Amino acid sequence: MNEPVVGSKSFAAVAINCASKAGEWIKTKLGNYQRLDEKMSPHDLVTEVDKGSEKLIRSLIMMNFPSHSFLGEEGVEPGPEASARALESVRDAEYLWIVDPVDGTTNFVHGFPFFVVSIALAHKGEIILGVVYDPSADELFIAEKGKGAYVHGKRMSVSGEETLRSSLVATGFPAEHRTALPRNLEQLRRIAPKVRNIRSSGSAALHLAYVAAGRLSGFWEIGLNSWDIAAGALLVQESGGAVGDIDGTPYHLGVRDVAATNGQIHGELLAELAD
Ligand code: IPD
Ligand code: CA
Ligand code: CA
């Protein structure tokens, strides 16, 4: 990975600093937020804490790397079209930071301790750094392209299940209830009897980190945005897993319908997810 100019901090050091500072601040706000708004539906929430976290991360990144581009959830209008346009406008940037300042806002609002800060850095469209920080468990997951993935300084590797039958998988229920939720429910109906069990804990980024850590055999969700997936995708790849679109396309920044697994169950999961 190209290091920044001598004298400035490394990309990874800045990302870790941003994620831990924002995460600690979010934790102090648990049960203590002031303002709750709905975005595109009553299932899509935002608080002043999401906005404050993004502001903090953005200012730290821009202070260190003023020439870099930045794509953060709270700087984009709600809805899939706006998020696709926002990604298109920056996707060719030399360095692009992709940030979800709180992934798992519904959990945060309800005091369910499963939410994270997710920060990724793409170089010419390829993710080279991913950090996911879970402040409730104080777990920081980090991957650098070609250098492996780590949690608490310990190298991660995906789990060893060879079949869906012995797998613990996770999914997310989409906030868009017209087309995405019925599709997801149909997928659930097909997959539930085939796997050991299913979880749905409400943070795509943390589910991806759990696949990387070998705590889940696989994860899928439809209708996500680049900031939900970018950091977690590199965690999974650098832990030896597979990640991409549920149609089998390998991971790229525009993937919205994601499947991530330990690699061994990937084909079987995709076959079950096929419409
Ligand atoms: C959401 C979470 C959730 C997933 C939703 C996402 P947010 O992100 O990742 O698990 O099911 O699709 O939008 O809104 O909490 O950042
Ligand atoms: Ca999110
Ligand atoms: Ca978010």
Long-range contacts of residues 83-89, Cβ cutoff 8 Å, at least 24 apart:
83/225, 83/226, 84/254, 87/226, 87/253, 87/254
**In terms of CATH architecture, what is 164-274?**
3-Layer(aba) Sandwich (3.40)
Amino acid sitting at position 61: I
Q: What is the pLDDT of residue 7?
A: 47
Enter the pTM of the model.
0.95
> From ligand 2's centre to the CA of 193, what distance in Å?
28
In this structure, whether the domain defined by 5-155 belongs to CATH 3.30.540.10 is answered with yes
Q: How far apart are CA 162 and CA 135, in angstroms?
A: 32
> From ligand 2's centre to the CA of 223, what distance in Å?
11
Q: What is the mean pLDDT of each run of 10 residues along the chain (275 residues)?
A: 56 98 96 83 85 97 97 92 94 96 96 97 97 98 98 96 98 92 96 98 98 98 97 98 98 98 98 90
Cβ–ligand 1 distance for 228 under 6 Å, the answer yes
3-state DSSP helix/strand/coil percent for the chain, to nearest 5?
Answer: 35, 25, 40
Q: What is the pLDDT of residue 39?
A: 81
Q: What is the pLDDT of residue 156?
A: 98
Q: What is the pLDDT of residue 8?
A: 56
Cβ–ligand 1 distance for 175 under 6 Å, the answer yes
Q: What is the domain partition of the chain in residue ranges? A: 5-155, 164-274
